[in-house]
Each structure stands twice: as structure tokens, then as C-alpha cells.
């Protein structure tokens, strides 16, 4: 900002310039001035209060670059390795899928064979027992009687 005149300012620690006679001066004491307001002398010799603009200070200084932490380096190095391992496992499973499906079918077939074998053996044992004894399954008849709600129960068992 270019000004055609020179402005002299009164600082808080300095002394005011020599007063010009016959000019009214501000009546506010210097120590009561708010920040940014100073007493200035205009080119005609008049002194007045004015907002002043000081040379702007440079903006905040950018912080220096921080070193990369060790955990971040380790993670960055492990990420491709883990990703490659997962990819290799996926490829391996895709090659092994037909074999895994066949093994699954074989295991279900083995489970069905065991279940049917168990039932067949039980049926054969029952048939052999029927032929050996010549009679049907054993029959048990049981007669139980009791008196009252909590009375003692008596009973008979008949085997045939």
C-alpha cells in the first residue's frame, strides 16, 4: 500500500514526538489503547488514533518431516507377502477342488456304507435268533395295582 505521506507512530515504550502547537491531541492515555490502535501524526501535524497495519509475519512454518515408524514399515512389507500367500492358497484350492469334491463324495459314501452295514448286521442277528429259538420275540406282561394317590404299588410279571 503506497501512501503519499509519512506516518509516525507512537509506540508503547517510546516517547511521543514533539507536539505541534495549536493542535488538539487525543485525550486517551497510551497504556489504555486497545491492541492494533496507535497514536499517529498526519502530514498536516495533526495527531489522531488510528488502526495500524504491521508487516505481516510469515505463516506457520511447516513441521519437519517425521521419520516413518518401524511398525508402519513392517506392516508395509508384510502386506504384499500376506496378499501373495492368500492368492497362492486360492490358486491351490482351485487346483485341488476336484479332488476335494471327490474326497467329500467318498466320505459320504463311506458313512452310508457303515450305516447300512450296521442295520444289515442287526437284521441278520435277529433272523438267526428267530431260527435258533423257533419262536417270536419274548413277551412280558406286567400287572400293577396301587391304592390311593401315594399308595404302595404291587405287581406281577409274566414271561412268555
- pLDDT number for residue 108: 96
Give residue 110's pLDDT.
96
Q: pLDDT higher for 41 or 135? A: 41
Q: Where is mean pLDDT largest: 8-12, 70-74, 154-158?
A: 70-74
Q: Output 139 or 1, whichever has higher pLDDT.
A: 139
Beta strands in 33-110 (DSSP E): 37-41, 47-51
Q: Give the Å distances, CA to CA, from 102 to 70, 79, 89, 111, 113.
A: 47, 34, 19, 14, 16
Within this chain, do residues 46 and 86 fall inside the same structural domain, yes or no? no
Q: What DSSP letter does each residue of 123-150 carry, written as one string?
A: HHHHHHHHHHH-S-S--EEEEEEE-SSS
Query: Is residue 9 a part of any domain in this protein?
Result: yes
Distance CA 26, CA 41 (A): 11
Q: What is the mean pLDDT of residues 30-52?
A: 79
Q: Which whole number is the average pLDDT over 8-16?
A: 57
Assigned domain for 82 exists: yes
- Domain identity same for 40 and 84: no
Residue 47, domain member (yes or no)? yes
Residue 86 backbone class (left: φ over 0; alpha: ψ -120 to 50; beta: rest): alpha
Rg (the chain; Cα; Å)? 55
Beta carbons within 8 Å of 20's beta carbon, 6+ residues apart: 41, 45, 46, 47
Residue whose C-alpha cell reads 496507535 in the numeric block: 38
pLDDT mean over 51-70: 77
The percent of residues above 90 in pLDDT, for the chain, comes to 28
Domain that holds residue 48: 1-53
- Contact between 142 and 132 under an 8 Å Cβ cutoff? The reply is no
Instruction: Name the burial class of residue 30, with classes exposed (0-12), middle (13-18) and buried (19+) by CB atoms within 10 angstroms of its CB.
Output: middle
In a domain, 113, yes or no: no
Note the pLDDT of residue 39. 78
Identify whether 63 is part of a domain: no
Residue 18: pLDDT band (50, 70, 90) is low
Other Cβ atoms within 10 Å of 39 Cβ, number: 20
Domain count, the chain: 2
Amino acid at each position: 500500500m503506497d501512501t503519499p505521506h509519512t506516518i509516525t507512530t507512537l509506540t508503547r515504550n517510546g516517547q511521543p514526538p514533539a507536539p505541534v502547537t495549536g493542535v488538539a491531541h487525543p485525550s486517551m492515555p497510551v497504556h489504555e489503547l486497545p491492541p492494533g490502535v496507535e497514536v499517529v501524526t498526519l502530514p498536516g501535524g495533526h495527531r489522531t488514533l488510528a488502526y495500524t497495519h504491521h508487516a505481516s509475519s510469515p505463516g506457520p512454518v511447516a513441521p519437519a518431516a517425521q521419520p516413518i515408524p518401524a511398525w508402519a514399515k513392517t506392516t508395509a512389507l508384510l502386506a504384499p507377502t500376506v496378499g501373495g500367500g492368500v492368492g497362492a492358497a486360492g490358486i491351490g484350492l482351485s487346483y485341488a477342488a476336484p479332488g476335494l469334491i471327490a474326497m467329500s463324495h467318498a466320505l459320504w459314501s463311506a458313512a452310508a456304507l457303515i450305516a447300512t452295514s450296521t442295520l444289515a448286521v442287526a437284521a441278520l442277528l435277529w433272523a438267526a435268533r428267530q431260527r435258533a429259538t423257533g419262536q417270536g420275540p419274548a413277551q412280558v406282561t406286567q400287572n400293577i395295582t396301587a391304592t390311593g394317590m401315594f399308595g404302595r404299588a404291587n405287581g406281577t410279571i409274566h414271561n412268555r
